[in-house]
Amino acid sequence: MNYWEITKESFTKFFSSKPLLYSSSIAFYLIFSLPAILIILLTIAGSAFEDVMVKNALLEQLTNLYGPDSAQIVQRIIENNSGIGTTWIAKVVGVISMLISATAVFSSLQDGLNAIWQVKSDPKRDLIHFLRNRLLSLGMVVSIGFLLAITLLIDTGLSFFKDFLTESFSSIGFIIIRAINISLSIGIVTVVFALMFKILPDLKINWNDVWAGSLFSAILFTIGKFVIGFYLGNSSLGSVYGAAGSLVLLLVWVFYSAIIVLFGASFTFVYMKKAGDKIKPYEHALKVKEVEDQ
């Protein structure tokens, strides 16, 4: 299989799917989804570890992925969270609102992925589609929560190994540790991308078809993280917006992340077609051409 040809066709597919529109939508919805997502993530991972350890691990991962300014915003959101209510009515309303808010950004992401896969929900089954989308989006949040817990386990297991390398090999040990951290970061992001490509679109897709695009996307994300991090660190973008500068930087990172996810989906789409796999929408969805012909 010619991966260079796949990459070229992926760019064509990507730019024909309105990536800027969907990436902007995803970044916008994240503003409202982030507090609820953080509560769910901390609750899931906190069931196995101490809250302080979970918060520190989450902030460390966000710092590695998006930089200290974005992590600082998340930290303030966590510190300012006052719970979901005291009375049972307030708790019920709070839980429902939290679940709807947490899944909004993934619902927007699903729209972008569906556009790339050329599928669309059947207008006659909108309610079923809505409920399914919310459950799948909630499943994504829960999966990321478990992934955070697994990351904590891995970090705990590697802590002794890191200390041993640093003490025994000095500068070489530092290089090895850096390589391990980058590899783990790519691995974690690959799994997250694979979950998105497998779970969110309204079509049947095999696990074997998502891994190539997920790994490719994770590598691009890691490379772009250093490039954009260098650019943002040496530009005045944050200071131009004053007090909102940190939020703007976070939105830039989310916008870029969404671009990478959508390009990875385009790569996976072309990869599947080259492999001879057919696009098979779920029962509640149709191919875009079928919708247009009705």
| pLDDT at residue 65 in the model | 62
| pLDDT at residue 151 in the model | 64
In terms of Cβ atoms closer than 10 Å to its own Cβ (0-12, 13-18, 19+), residue 288 is: middle
> 10 Å Cβ neighbour count for 212?
19
Predicted TM-score of the model (pTM): 0.78
Low-confidence ranges of the chain (pLDDT < 50): 290-294
Q: How far apart are CA 266 and CA 259, in angstroms?
A: 11
| pLDDT at residue 239 in the model | 66
- Helix then strand then coil, in percent of the chain rounded to 5, is 85, 5, 15
